[in-house]
Structure 1
Amino acid sequence: MVTRRRLGLLLCALLLPAFAACTEDPAATAQAWHGGTLTIGTGPTNGVFNQIGGGYADIVNRHLEGYEALAPPTNGAGENLLRLASDDVQVAFTFADTAADAAAGRGSFEGKPVKFKALARIFNGYTHLVVRANSGITSIKQLKGKRVATGPQNSGTELVALRLLGAAGLDVKRDITQVSASLSQMANLMRAGDLDAMFYAAGLPTVGVQALFAQSPGMFTLLPTEELFLTMGKAYPDIYAPGKIPKAMYGLSADVTVVAVPNLIVVREDMPADLAFRLTQLIFDYQSELAAVHPEGDNISRDIAALVSPLQLHSGAGRFYGVS
């Protein structure tokens, strides 16, 4: 015989799913693109992209209802776009030069162009070229015959490093011993004397470079690369910019002029316009939170954020900036 209590429990079990469905917000459920999970491609754990990307994910998690953002470390600009193409990430931090190649199907993206659109141009990545202070190396051209680390594979650092070496007249396969490694690995190799030089392109300051200089005062210095700016500009128009690394940034004796590359936040082309609008809006509504994570967050400017040439803005980002 079924008791009244058992009947009540049975009715609860039968009716609970329907009740839960009635209490959910169907509009929020229907509008959550990609199941409500956004993975952000950032960069190495001690790099600026990873720090700013983590802060951006926190902002999304607190202020974009219906979405959860993840910000795992990656090898950076190039890998992020490869992962964007495979839908492993939906939002990516990248460099303008890497993005231009990916969109056009050039270089490491030969024959496999990536479809994506930009949300914003953010801050610049500055080319750090580290050598020993007593090495006698005063120009990038003097890296011939040296052991040179060009950053992680498929990174924005690798691309700009290879282009700078080429602009200096050096054949990467013949004239140097190329080493591919993460920032922390490169720093360790420099300390051990197993590298003569290392490249790293990122915002200022870069924690890994800062630690290298702080832990070995007077042992390392940065080489200028601005001498190659005109050559780079002719070979790759409208991509690179001149930049300056202030001497106080790493305890140097003088400012260092370098080649810089604009950094971008990009998203999959199929992202809904309303979501792209909100993701763009969050960058500026909570910019102070990004600045609290890393000083480069304060250098994001709405005045130039829409200047993402040679890429295209996502229509949702364009609506935020008031451009078509």
Structure 2
Amino acid sequence: MMTTGWFSRIAPALLAGFFLAAPADAAPARYYSLGTASTAGTWYILGAGFSGHVNRQLSDIKLTAEITAGSGENYNLVKRGQIDFAMSHPDFAPADIEKRAISPGAKAPFRQFLWTDAKNDFHWFVRKSSALKKLADMKGKRVGVGPHGSGGTVKNIRAIQKITGYEPGKDYQAIYLAYEDMIRGIQDNTIDLAAFFAAYPIASLVNAAIMTDIRLISLGDDEIAKAVEGDKSAMLLKSILPAGTYKGQEAEVPTIGQVQGILVRAGVPDDDVYRIFKALFTNLAQRNAVHPQAKGWTVEATVDMGVRQAEAGIPFHPGVVRYLKEVGKWRPALEVR
């Protein structure tokens, strides 16, 4: 079945979360920012939904979803202390530690907050009438790879190179566009292939598929093996876009995806982080209604991924540690040693 109606159903609830005011005699609210991505991607919808949910649970703490260029910018913003919470991917911090760009353990400028077992998936798509049937057919073509400054853009280019061996500027023309502009490029034939990197269903792509005949590019097992091989830090995995995710998609589409999570600035007060985390796990049915992928953001996924990040030298925020201990989920392996 297609999932086309969920956004219209939950949009009013997302907006309502931003306008809940504290009582007149209450103490001033403390405001925190959550870096997401463009409004055309899944992260903004998730981030706005999660923020609204927290704001409904807490009267003295307000979380606001910020529009950004995505995972790469979010990581750099939280690393510099310019944003409080950041949706990102698990490979940035270990790579920075390895390059000595940040210090591990207590000296790191950010902490682990929340992880999901849902993945951000690579979506490569063309006009339905296009002669492009596989990624290798893109040689010499105009390819929308994403906006400048986005970690997803870097990942798109790297994935293409690993799968095909093609390099931007040499084997194809890389065009840096936001998601909305890539959709327009496909519609008006100014680009040949578009690359999205987000959790399905991507709202803007759902809408585009209703207006325009598009076709998703599937990856073969050999292509998936090339992409995943030797990339343990990035935690790339085979993924499937289920049939019917987008209009006209009659069969499942094999692709690759990457796990995702939220980092938190180290200086956010412990009690506020504890209360925000706890709020996210209060009234779960309401929280999970914001997007089909919301249900994947669980305590269990947070613990599982947290072990890997702790091994890399990234500790959990003390506020999260408090909650995990409170619900009996803390494990010694989550300690940074």
- TM beyond 0.5: yes
Q: Is the 8 A contact 2:81 2:109 kept in 1?
A: no
The alpha carbon displacement at 1:105 in A equals: 7.1
Distance, in Å, in 1 between the alignment partners of 2:141 and 2:252 is 25
The alpha carbon displacement at 1:272 in A equals: 2.7
What is the aligned partner in structure 2 of residue 49 from structure 1? 43
Question: Which segment drifts farther, 195-204 or 275-284?
Answer: 275-284
Q: Say which of 295, 298, 302 aligns to 1:298.
A: 295
Distance, in Å, in 1 between the alignment partners of 2:315 and 2:178 is 30
Structure 1 unmatched runs, 5+? 1-22
More helix per residue: 1 or 2? 1
Aligned to 1:74, the other structure's residue is in SS state coil
The alpha carbon displacement at 1:314 in A equals: 2.1
User: Do structure 1's residue 283 and structure 2's residue 280 form an aligned pair?
Assistant: yes
- CA change 1:37–1:176 in 2 (3 A) is same
The alpha carbon displacement at 1:44 in A equals: 0.8
Aligned ranges 1:1-324 → 2 under 5 Å: 36-101=30-95, 103-104=96-97, 111=101, 115-122=109-116, 123-168=118-163, 169-217=165-213, 219-224=214-219, 227-238=222-233, 239-250=235-246, 251-306=248-303, 307-308=305-306, 309-310=308-309, 311-321=314-324, 322-323=329-330, 324=335
Q: Is the 8 A contact 2:216 2:253 kept in 1?
A: no
Distance, in Å, in 2 between the alignment partners of 1:68 and 1:270 is 17
Q: Which residue identity is paired with 2:198?
A: A
- CA change 1:207–1:24 in 2 (3 A) is closer
Aligned to 1:167, the other structure's residue is in SS state helix
Q: Is the 8 A contact 2:120 2:258 kept in 1?
A: yes
- Residues 45-75 of structure 1: CA deviation (Å, up to 9, x unaligned): 1211111111121123232342222212111
Distance, in Å, in 1 between the alignment partners of 2:110 and 2:221 is 31
Aligned to 1:96, the other structure's residue is in SS state coil
The alpha carbon displacement at 1:129 in A equals: 0.6
The alpha carbon displacement at 1:87 in A equals: 2.9
Structure 2 unmatched runs, 5+? 1-23
Aligned to 1:295, the other structure's residue is in SS state coil
Q: In the comparison of the two structures, how many residue pairs are matched?
A: 290
Distance, in Å, in 1 between the alignment partners of 2:221 and 2:53 is 36
- Residues 193-213 of structure 1: CA deviation (Å, up to 9, x unaligned): 011111111112101111121
Question: Which segment drifts farther, 300-309 or 172-181?
Answer: 300-309
Q: Is the 8 A contact 2:40 2:204 kept in 1?
A: yes
Distance, in Å, in 1 between the alignment partners of 2:76 and 2:126 is 31
Q: Is the 8 A contact 1:226 1:258 kept in 2?
A: no
TM-score normalised by the chain length of structure 2: 0.78
Q: Is the 8 A contact 1:276 1:316 kept in 2?
A: yes
The alpha carbon displacement at 1:97 in A equals: 3.3
Q: Is the 8 A contact 2:123 2:216 kept in 1?
A: no
Q: Is the 8 A contact 2:34 2:85 kept in 1?
A: yes
Of the two, which has the highest radius of gyration? 1
Distance, in Å, in 2 between the alignment partners of 1:207 and 1:226 is 28
The alpha carbon displacement at 1:90 in A equals: 0.3
- CA change 1:284–1:185 in 2 (3 A) is same
Question: Which segment drifts farther, 273-282 or 156-165?
Answer: 273-282
- Residues 6-60 of structure 1: CA deviation (Å, up to 9, x unaligned): xxxxxxxxxxxxxxxxx988xx77xx8xxx2101111111211111111121123
Question: Which segment drifts farther, 162-171 or 58-67?
Answer: 58-67
- CA change 1:153–1:274 in 2 (3 A) is same
Distance, in Å, in 1 between the alignment partners of 2:153 and 2:73 is 11
- CA change 1:225–1:46 in 2 (3 A) is farther
Distance, in Å, in 2 between the alignment partners of 1:255 and 1:202 is 17
Percent identical: 21
Aligned to 1:124, the other structure's residue is in SS state strand
